[in-house]
Amino acid sequence: AVPVTVVSAIGAASRFGVVIKSGAAFERFGEIRHVALDKTGTLTRNRPAVTHVETVDGISEDQLLSWAAAVERGSVHPLAAAICAAAPGAARAEDIVETAGQGIGGLVGGARVAIGSPRRLDAGRLADRVESLEAEGATVVIVRRNGVSVGVIGIRDELRPESAEAVATLERTGIGVTMLTGDNARTARALGLEAGIEDVRAELRPQDKAEAIRQMSRSTPTAMIGDGINDAPALAAADLGIAMGATGSDAAIESADVAFTGRDLRLLPQAFAHTRRGRQIMN
């Protein structure tokens, strides 16, 4: 049975937005010495916006965006939200298939449209544009139509102002911080610099994130915090899995030991402090 003091501390945590699913999870907060954070939606605002569009063969920007948005209607990914917002009139594609951490495809007016990471899709004639947009700190996705690269879309997602404060508080209390992301290394490093995170691991697939967690956890008890469908394997691999934004993907919440109802990263140092006080009262 879970001690009554733990039950009441868990109840108090839920009132400030930290839902701890078990007494064991409550206790495990005390062992954690390292935290891995997903970038998109966890450190950043989760409000990415399209900032650049490049096309080939005189295809208009609006045309490219409407092909892409038709497919992205089938996704809950933050990049999909940005692309859909840039082309609100696009009708939903057929036969949509999304591959977590890679991209998405579907049939738009009989043509096969694929959108995804330049690490997975060939940029063709647009390769040099990918590099320069990434160097400016944008996340770039490639748009292919019937097997030909027809455009690139640059998307920016700003760091939340409270993220850097949360990272500094964690490090001050002896908890190491690593950023894990499927995004490209250039964009990731730029964001890490802003957030005060030196250890940045980029271009990871969902299974790579889980493997990175397992490796860290071998030497140091490690928590993982993330929000996406693609974060579920990493959350499950961590000593303590934390899902950010309880309105996010069900898979992430199910794989987690803890769920934050809000998206303020300062909840993380607050949760460590709260559970620490809870254990002191018991001892």
- Segment near ligand ADP (CB under 6 A); pick from 36-44, 126-134, 214-222, 256-264: 36-44
Among 28, 40, 82, 104, binds Mg ion (CB under 5 A): 40
Q: Which amino acid is residue 134, in one-letter code?
A: E
CB of 8 to ligand ADP, least distance (A): 35
**How far is the C-alpha of 134 from the C-alpha of 17, rounded, in Å?**
35
Buried b (16+ CB within 10 A) or exposed e, 110-149: eeebbbbbbbebebeebeebbeebbeebbbbbbbbbeeeb
Among 34, 39, 201, 274, binds ligand ADP (CB under 6 A): 39
Q: Closest CB to ligand ADP among 41 and 278? A: 41
Q: In which element (H, E) is residue 192 found?
A: helix 185-195
CB of 72 to Mg ion, least distance (A): 15
CB of 231 to Mg ion, least distance (A): 6
Q: Which residue has the tokens 């967690």?
A: 213
For the chain, the distance separating the N- and C-terminal CA atoms, rounded to the nearest angstrom, is 17
Contact 142, 105 (CB under 8 A): no
**How far is the C-alpha of 260 from the C-alpha of 242, rounded, in Å?**
7
Residue 103 is a binding residue for ligand ADP (CB under 6 A) = yes
Q: Closest CB to ligand ADP among 118 and 278? A: 118
Among 228, 248, 269, 278, binds Mg ion (CB under 5 A): 228
Active site residue 38: yes
- Segment near ligand ADP (CB under 6 A); pick from 37-45, 86-94, 217-225, 237-245: 37-45
The option from Mg ion, ligand ADP, none interacting with 178 (CB < 5 to 8 A, set by class) reads: none
Residues in the chain: 283
Among 55, 66, 139, 163, binds ligand ADP (CB under 6 A): 139
106 phi, psi to nearest 5 deg: -175, 180
* Rounded-to-10 torsion of CA 145, 157, 196, 198: -10
Residues involved in catalysis: 38
**Which residues bind to Mg ion, rule: CB under 5 A?**
38, 40-41, 228
**Which residues bind to ligand ADP, rule: CB under 6 A?**
38-40, 72, 75, 77, 79-80, 98, 101-104, 115-117, 139, 141, 181-183, 228, 230
